[in-house]
A and B are shown apart, each in its own frame.
Chain A
């Protein structure tokens, strides 16, 4: 049962998974449309993923065999409640899907169900977070357009992250989520409330007992997670503050230009340059508004997403700790209680296996997650920097053309223009 050595990187070994239906995926002989063999193990897929380091987009298109989109939010009104349904479209070449195209409608609760199933099944894999249920700050109405759009984008990202995950994308629950017209019957299955309660109770008990010691690499990981979480929260706050300041700046600017325009009306010689300045200010404030829009749509959500990721990481670390604690507890019992040795030994072995698996899953997924984080944030920062450059370039053009027009006029009349 436990003949595995502990690998530093799980990508060299097949994962021992609990449920049979997932194993099926790995043994089927399949190939891509162009004849090359479909990667049929998480390990080889992870390797492939790593190779995609430098040219993300291109390679993804070649090796990605499942494409998911979330769009068309629609409001649903029933006797009891009102909610939003999102359209989820899947296109895939995978053979374990009966068809190559699916279209279903899902609500936020369905996504929550999917994620909790994934976490249950893979407690130490890093499952991408969902957008928050409520937005407390600013009291955003649930059905406000901006809120819905932001949520839709986040849900889209969520499903894409899952579909890109070498293990999670092959989850049965994921497949059901993408394909079943009616999710209700599937949602009724599974451990459910009581088992979650049990897990919580165990977790509390374990935290009371405390871990004997965390393996070095996980101690390092924990420290990183705590620091990362702090930094992300700061980044999130700073970015939101910048957006706020810029909004106020634009509001002020908007008061500026009518003043120049009105002044211009009262003047004679100065009318033209004053109107010119007024128009420049108007154009610049438009550019600034566009800039703010971009920040709110790209950088702020990206940073916020990773704030949520940090929370996910913390939960993963906790679950891993619990698994280790449970093993240690049973192990201790084995050592102290002389009776029932055999029965206890079996249990200890099971728990030891489970712990090893959990640790390996986490280690492997950790690397993948870090890579993904770097890619995501790097691209968000680059985009933000580019937008800043663009904003300044546009404003520069506006003022330069004003200057040209003034100097052209001036060279006709006055001599000592700066």
Chain B
């Protein structure tokens, strides 16, 4: 993997900026020391089938992959801390890749494995759930992550880090899961108590339920996060449209400049008056003017070029106007869509929080009842 990373870096333009003081290319693949690959151990350990509601509330079955990350220094020191894990599905990888492509347009972004099982040679039908396909995909996705992580530029991307080790939801996860320990200790403790035993035991069950409830909550939060993420990536698409506009504007301006300068040349030729300093003017003065035929020829050429130039300017002007018009219309449409979608997403987020609060109230009220009976 490390070697592949090096090969890849050699291929990208970005590296030429990082040749470093001594001009050696070694500085760029900078010690894979600095790439994510060195700092973190990444792997896709497992794949699992899940079914759930998708964005349009339809039931669907899909595969999720378990991303495990572990800080490299801990591994090097011989500790073996439990890895951070989270589950992601293929579409999330796609979102990530699209984001990378748009954000780093000059970088050759590693590819993803195929989306559909189009060609499973020894099976009759193409099934995304096919275990062989899933396994091949798992390897392909792992490869993708490893390549991205060993890329000197891509590895530092914040969104990539978030993709690998999602944070806020994890904190809440920790809070809930530790309550599961209460469940275990309560249960053990109840064994040695006479009067308190029953109360502790049943309270313990509620603690277990509380700890388990975070899984559902997180799944819902993931839907919400996905909706936000989509618009995050849209931001890049918007930027692309703006860049295109800038480009057409630039082209128009260049064409206009060109036209103006040509017209100026024509004027100079025609009138013999030199408005600005030029070497031609100097040589003319020094060595005499050119012959009338030559002048005619040059004038004719200029006229042609000017005509061309005017056409170009007209085209570019139209192009720009069209772009502006169409882009503007679509941006408006996009804005409306975005406002509607995000507003709905925010409302769903609130609904989700409310549901979580209600569950919390229930569990702890039940626990309180158990304690009261102790």
Task: Annotate A246-287 by CB proximity to B: 1 below 8 A, 0 otherwise.
Answer: 101100110010000000000101100110110010001000
Q: Judge if A374 is at the interface, Cβ distance under 8 Å.
A: yes
Verify A238–B182 contact, CB threshold 8 A: yes
Q: Judge if B49 is at the interface, Cβ distance under 8 Å.
A: no
Task: Annotate B331-374 by CB proximity to A: 1 below 8 A, 0 otherwise.
Answer: 00001001110111011111101100110110011011001101
Q: Judge if B192 is at the interface, Cβ distance under 8 Å.
A: yes
Partner-contacting stretch, out of B61-69, B156-164, B172-180: B172-180
Within the complex, which residue of A248, A277, A385 is in contact with B346, where a contact is CB–CB below 8 Å?
A277
Verify A269–B188 contact, CB threshold 8 A: no
Verify B196–A238 contact, CB threshold 8 A: no
Minimum CB–CB distance from B355 to chain A (whole Å) comes to: 10
Verify B343–A269 contact, CB threshold 8 A: yes
Verify A382–B372 contact, CB threshold 8 A: yes
With A269-B339, A403-B350 given, is the CB distance from A256 to B168 under 8 Å?
yes
Q: Judge if B129 is at the interface, Cβ distance under 8 Å.
A: no
Within the complex, which residue of A235, A241, A388 is in contact with B360, where a contact is CB–CB below 8 Å?
A388
Verify B348–A418 contact, CB threshold 8 A: yes
Q: Judge if A25 is at the interface, Cβ distance under 8 Å.
A: no
Chain A stretch 379-418: residues in CB contact (< 8 A) with chain B: 381-382, 385-386, 388-389, 391-393, 395-396, 399-400, 402-403, 406-407, 410, 414, 417-418
Q: Judge if A234 is at the interface, Cβ distance under 8 Å.
A: yes
Verify B349–A242 contact, CB threshold 8 A: no
* In the bound complex, CA of A406 to CA of B164 (Å): 34
Closest partner residue, chain A, to B176 (CB atom)? A245
Q: Judge if B283 is at the interface, Cβ distance under 8 Å.
A: no
With A231-B189, A374-B196, A382-B371 given, is the CB distance from A270 to B357 under 8 Å?
no
Verify A245–B368 contact, CB threshold 8 A: no
* In the bound complex, CA of A241 to CA of B176 (Å): 11
B179: A residues at CB distance < 8 A: 242
* In the bound complex, CA of A284 to CA of B365 (Å): 20
Verify A227–B192 contact, CB threshold 8 A: yes
Q: Judge if B301 is at the interface, Cβ distance under 8 Å.
A: no
Q: Judge if A113 is at the interface, Cβ distance under 8 Å.
A: no
Q: Judge if B185 is at the interface, Cβ distance under 8 Å.
A: yes
Verify A393–B189 contact, CB threshold 8 A: no
* In the bound complex, CA of A273 to CA of B339 (Å): 10
* In the bound complex, CA of A406 to CA of B357 (Å): 19
Verify B171–A389 contact, CB threshold 8 A: no
Closest partner residue, chain A, to B189 (CB atom)? A231
With A234-B181, A418-B351 given, is the CB distance from A245 to B371 under 8 Å?
no
* In the bound complex, CA of A256 to CA of B270 (Å): 69
B344: A residues at CB distance < 8 A: 417-418
Q: Judge if A147 is at the interface, Cβ distance under 8 Å.
A: no
Q: Judge if B167 is at the interface, Cβ distance under 8 Å.
A: yes
Minimum CB–CB distance from B278 to chain A (whole Å) comes to: 50
With A231-B189, A393-B357 given, is the CB distance from A238 to B178 under 8 Å?
yes
Verify A392–B361 contact, CB threshold 8 A: yes
Q: Judge if A378 is at the interface, Cβ distance under 8 Å.
A: yes
B361: A residues at CB distance < 8 A: 389, 392-393, 396
Verify A246–B175 contact, CB threshold 8 A: yes
* In the bound complex, CA of A77 to CA of B364 (Å): 47
Interface class of chain A by DSSP? helix
Q: Judge if B203 is at the interface, Cβ distance under 8 Å.
A: yes
Interface size class of B (residues with CB under 8 A): 35 or more
With A231-B189, A269-B343, A378-B374 given, is the CB distance from A389 to B365 under 8 Å?
yes
Within the complex, which residue of A242, A392, A400, A406 is in contact with B175, where a contact is CB–CB below 8 Å?
A242
Within the complex, which residue of B185, B192, B338 is in contact with A224, where a contact is CB–CB below 8 Å?
B192
* In the bound complex, CA of A105 to CA of B331 (Å): 75
B348: A residues at CB distance < 8 A: 418
A67: B residues at CB distance < 8 A: none
Verify B343–A389 contact, CB threshold 8 A: no
Chain A stretch 303-341: residues in CB contact (< 8 A) with chain B: none
Closest partner residue, chain B, to A233 (CB atom)? B185
Most A CB contacts (10 A, CB to CB) among B192, B338, B372 go to: B192
Q: Judge if A228 is at the interface, Cβ distance under 8 Å.
A: yes
Closest partner residue, chain A, to B57 (CB atom)? A418
B354: A residues at CB distance < 8 A: 396, 399-400, 403
A242: B residues at CB distance < 8 A: 175, 178-179
Q: Judge if B17 is at the interface, Cβ distance under 8 Å.
A: no
B347: A residues at CB distance < 8 A: 273, 403, 406-407, 410, 417-418
Closest partner residue, chain A, to B357 (CB atom)? A396
Task: Annotate A364-377 by CB proximity to B: 1 below 8 A, 0 otherwise.
Answer: 00000010001001
Q: Judge if B216 is at the interface, Cβ distance under 8 Å.
A: no
B203: A residues at CB distance < 8 A: 381
B22: A residues at CB distance < 8 A: none
B372: A residues at CB distance < 8 A: 378, 382
A276: B residues at CB distance < 8 A: 346
* In the bound complex, CA of A246 to CA of B176 (Å): 9
With A274-B346, A402-B350, A417-B347 given, is the CB distance from A392 to B171 under 8 Å?
no
Minimum CB–CB distance from B213 to chain A (whole Å) comes to: 12
* In the bound complex, CA of A269 to CA of B189 (Å): 55
* In the bound complex, CA of A414 to CA of B344 (Å): 10
Most A CB contacts (10 A, CB to CB) among B203, B349, B364, B365 go to: B364
Q: Judge if B290 is at the interface, Cβ distance under 8 Å.
A: no
Verify A389–B368 contact, CB threshold 8 A: yes
Minimum CB–CB distance from A347 to chain B (whole Å) comes to: 38
Verify A392–B349 contact, CB threshold 8 A: no
Verify A238–B346 contact, CB threshold 8 A: no
Closest partner residue, chain A, to B343 (CB atom)? A273
Closest partner residue, chain B, to A225 (CB atom)? B192
Verify A277–B182 contact, CB threshold 8 A: no
Q: Judge if B195 is at the interface, Cβ distance under 8 Å.
A: yes
With A227-B192, A256-B168, A389-B365 given, is the CB distance from A248 to B174 under 8 Å?
yes
Within the complex, which residue of B188, B339, B365 is in contact with A270, where a contact is CB–CB below 8 Å?
B339
Verify A399–B178 contact, CB threshold 8 A: no
* In the bound complex, CA of A228 to CA of B194 (Å): 12
Closest partner residue, chain A, to B361 (CB atom)? A392
Task: Annotate B234-257 by CB proximity to A: 1 below 8 A, 0 otherwise.
Answer: 000000000000000000000000
A370: B residues at CB distance < 8 A: 195
Chain B stretch 180-203: residues in CB contact (< 8 A) with chain A: 181-182, 185, 188-189, 192, 195-196, 199, 203
A396: B residues at CB distance < 8 A: 354, 357-358, 361
Q: Which B residues are within 8 Å of any A CB, using their own CB?
A: 167-168, 171-172, 174-175, 178-179, 181-182, 185, 188-189, 192, 195-196, 199, 203, 335, 338-340, 342-344, 346-351, 353-354, 357-358, 360-361, 364-365, 367-368, 371-372, 374
A-B contact pairs, 9 of them (CB 8 A): A228-B192, A238-B182, A248-B174, A378-B371, A385-B365, A386-B364, A406-B343, A410-B347, A418-B348
Closest 7 A/B residue pairs (Cβ):
A385-B368, A392-B360, A396-B357, A388-B364, A249-B171, A269-B339, A231-B189
Knowing that A241-B181, A418-B351 are A-B contacts, what are 16 other residue pairs whose CB atoms are under 8 Å apart, sorted by A's residue number?
Answer: A238-B185, A248-B171, A249-B171, A252-B167, A270-B338, A280-B353, A377-B196, A381-B203, A382-B368, A382-B372, A392-B361, A395-B353, A396-B354, A399-B350, A400-B354, A418-B348
